[in-house]
Amino acid sequence: MFTEAVLVRAEFQGDLLAHSVRLMRVRTAPDPDTLAQLALQDIQNNQVEAAEIKCLRALNTNRQHPGALSALGLILHLRARHDDAVRVFHALTLLEPRNAAHWTNLGTALRPTGRYDHALAAHRRALELGPASAEVLYNVGLVQMDRLDYDSAYSVLAQAIELARTAASVRCLFAQCCYDIGLFEEARSALEGWPQFQGLTAEFTAKIALLLVTMGESRRAEPALRQLSVNPPEGISLTAVRLLERVNRLTEARTAMQSLKTTHGIDASDSDLLLAEAVLAQREGAHEEARKALLVALQKHNDFPRRHLLLFPLAKSLDALGRHDEAYVAVEEAHQSQVAFLQAVTGRTPSDMSPTMSLTQSGCDPADICSWDEGASPAMEESPVFIVAFPRSGTTLLEQTIDAHPQLQSMDEQPFLNKAHDEVIASGIFYPAQLRQLSAAQRQSIRASYWQRVRNKVDLRPGQRLVDKNPFNLLRLPLIRRLFPNARIILAVRHPCDTVLSCFMQHFRAPDLALICRDLPTLAGNYKRSFDFWYAQWSLLHPVSREIQYEMLIADFEPQVRSLSEFLQLPWDDAMLSPGEHARAKGFISTPSYAQVIQPIYSRSVGHWKAYQKQFNDLLPTLAPYIERWGYGT
């Protein structure tokens, strides 16, 4: 297993261990080589105090013993005494300047102190002294990610994979690097066959499972979650706590958190710990507790491009506490921080054209539509049920409601229509104005690719129909209509102001979606542009579609669901009336609504935007056409 290293100050000053050695007066002079080896064994067995005693006894005999110093440096690093660890490892580079391992350890120790340039210099020295190793490249990748130089991190971690193709640590970090910059397909690919990775510790297993669950890869995460259920790791970590929370195993998450704080001696002021505690407190409705924890974490978090990781949850708790002005200030800063992060790591700026919103720039040609040949198209029973919307419009509730029906099977949000769209473009057809030119053979080939991807994600039993829920497929209506002309399409609708506010308050990880929602005026404009496109194409294409208003659904649930069942031509099943229970049993939900959807049907989010009325006054003219179209009063 590769050590995730971070070091502080690389100046070695004075008598390195004089104070510590004075504390360890001993009567005998044991063999320092043996003591150093025993100390390393203690470290591997998580007996850090015993290891430190042996190190100090060895150093009392030989104050420059390399093995004892190396073990002591590791102990100091594990205890987050980063300045001391840097001094020890720097001393080793002076004692044995051509030992590459000492330079690697120095670079590792420097990383947590924020001295990234010094850490990189140490790692580069290690590479100069010996052949390139996956361990050193892994640590360089860590530092480059800390510096927000994701291009360099991506490159160096790809090199590390070439040297250690099945190393769990390298694969996991490369997947995290790809995920952070929105390369979700590459992140998924990096984790292919993960149960066979080498060095697959409980921590790396938890990290991989958390990434997979977050990316909608529930099937591939199941082995890790089963393992966590049967044999919870003794060395419980924050990653395991986050994973348990993410899959809605809240009691276990809270127990693991308590164990982490009491047994493992983690620093109570650690910002990652405080964030994990805040998220658990929010799930328990303890928003004041969450607010206090997040404020403490923010006091120590001066890295502006990453402050959004704390500011979005802070805004959520402030909003729940009714402190709306403070919540708005926090969420505005969160977006500014996230934009700074995305600019640094992807090069994307707010002025760049959004790939998603670019779909609204051109529409179908009525003359082209008139000549569409729909022969050999799949029947309704052989077509997916598509749920589309602007994000945060109640699509997850709809999905879990109909997924509870035994004749339907949903999958976590997947970009399968995006890929189908790419195949159309690759064929040389101008989309969507020339879809007539898509031959029957081409359409069948694209559908076959779509279904192959589906089969890799879900197991459809004979007679089951797929539910494909991906909100921004709203903008791919021409493609749905051309490939699956008999498909049923459900359009989820919610008060435009509530939808826009919910999107603005949400921490979206996908770079394009984050930039679409970066400020209220931009978000409101993108909302209107999306529905202008939908209705313009809808009037030309006449899809078999049904609008479901969120407010009506939760106010009159059973009649609305029965009507929806009839629209989908399904026999009635009472399971559709308990979407929360269904979602809780399912466990894996990759969307931001994973916490809300397991709750009973509630109406407290209806009219929520009115708490931010002054921020919406200038937006109402933009949103008015759809406020009026759907019969909402302001």
- In CATH, what number is assigned to the domain containing residue 467? 3.40.50.300
pLDDT interval class at 120 (50, 70, 90): very high
Residue 493 three-state SS:
strand
pTM of the model: 0.86
**First CA to last CA distance, the chain:** 58
589 inside domain: yes
pLDDT tens track for 162-177:
999 999 999 999 999 9
- As a whole number, the mean pLDDT across the chain is 89
The DSSP string of 541-601 is H--EEEEEEHHHHHHSHHHHHHHHHHHTT----GGGG-HHHHHHHH----SGGGTTTTSPP
**Residue at 264 is within a domain:** no
Query: Using one digit for the tens of pLDDT, what is the confidence trace for 21-49?
Result: 333 444 445 688 999 889 988 888 878 88
Helix or strand (DSSP H, E) at 468: strand 465-469
pLDDT band at 218; cut points 50, 70, 90: confident
Examine residue 572 and state whether it is found in any structural domain, yes or no. Answer: yes
5 — pLDDT class (breaks 50, 70, 90): very low
Q: Quick one: average pLDDT of 81-87?
A: 93
| 144 falls within a domain | no
Nearest one of 512, 253, 539, 130 to 369, comparing CA atoms: 539
Look up residue 577 and give its amino acid. L
Residue 524 lies in a domain: yes
Q: What is the dihedral sign for C-alpha 508, 511, 515, 519?
A: positive
Answer whether 10's CB lies under 8 Å from 40's CB.
no
DSSP state of 214: H
Residues whose CB falls within 8 Å of the CB of residue 70, separated by 6 or more in sequence, listed in order: 36, 89, 92, 101, 102, 105
Q: Taking residues 551-572, report their average pLDDT.
A: 96
Q: How far apart are CA 244 and CA 308, in angstroms?
A: 23
In the chain, the amino acid numbered 138 is: Y
CB-hemisphere CA count at 13 Å for 370? 3
Angle ∠(250,255,261) on CA atoms, nearest 5? 125
Reported confidence tier of residue 8, pLDDT bands at 50, 70, 90: very low
CA distance 174 to 161: 8
Domain count of the chain? 1
The set of residues, in sequence order, having a beta carbon less than 8 Å from that of 58 and lying 6+ positions away, is: 30, 32, 33, 35, 36, 39, 65, 67, 68
Is residue 391 in a domain?
yes
- Residue 278 falls within a domain, yes or no? no
> pLDDT tens-digit profile of 316-359?
999 999 999 999 999 999 999 999 999 999 988 888 889 999 99
- Which residues contact residue 594 at a Cβ distance below 8 angstroms, ignoring those fewer than 6 apart? 246, 248, 396
Closest CA to 283 of 604, 602, 595, 590: 595
Instruction: Name the nearest CA neighbour of 240 among 214, 262, 209, 261.
Output: 209
HEC sequence for 40-74: HHHHHCCCHHHHHHHHHHHHHHCCCCHHHHHHHHH
Q: Are 417 and 476 in contact (CB under 8 A)?
A: yes
Q: Does residue 297 lie in a domain region?
A: no
User: Which pair of tokens denotes residue 584?
Assistant: 């809780």
In this prediction, residue 271 carries a pLDDT of: 87
Mean pLDDT throughout 301-311? 93
What SS3 state is found at 476?
helix
* Radius of gyration of the chain measured on its C-alpha atoms: 28
Q: Is the pLDDT of residue 15 over 50?
A: no
Q: Which domain holds residue 605?
A: 357-629
561: its two tokens: 């669901």
User: What was the pLDDT predicted at 270?
Assistant: 82
Compute the 3-state secondary structure of the chain and give helix, strand, coil in percent, each to the nearest 5: 65, 5, 30
Q: Give the C-alpha distances (Å, rounded to integers) separating 150 from 98, 114, 182, 378.
A: 30, 16, 11, 44
Q: Are 397 and 594 in contact (CB under 8 A)?
A: no
- Rounded alpha-carbon distances, angstroms, from residue 113 to 101, 165, 232: 20, 30, 32
Tell me the mean pLDDT in the region 225-247: 76
SS3 string, 356-410, reads CHHHHHCCCCHHHHHCCCCCCCCCHHHCCEEEECCCCCCHHHHHHHHHCCCCEEE
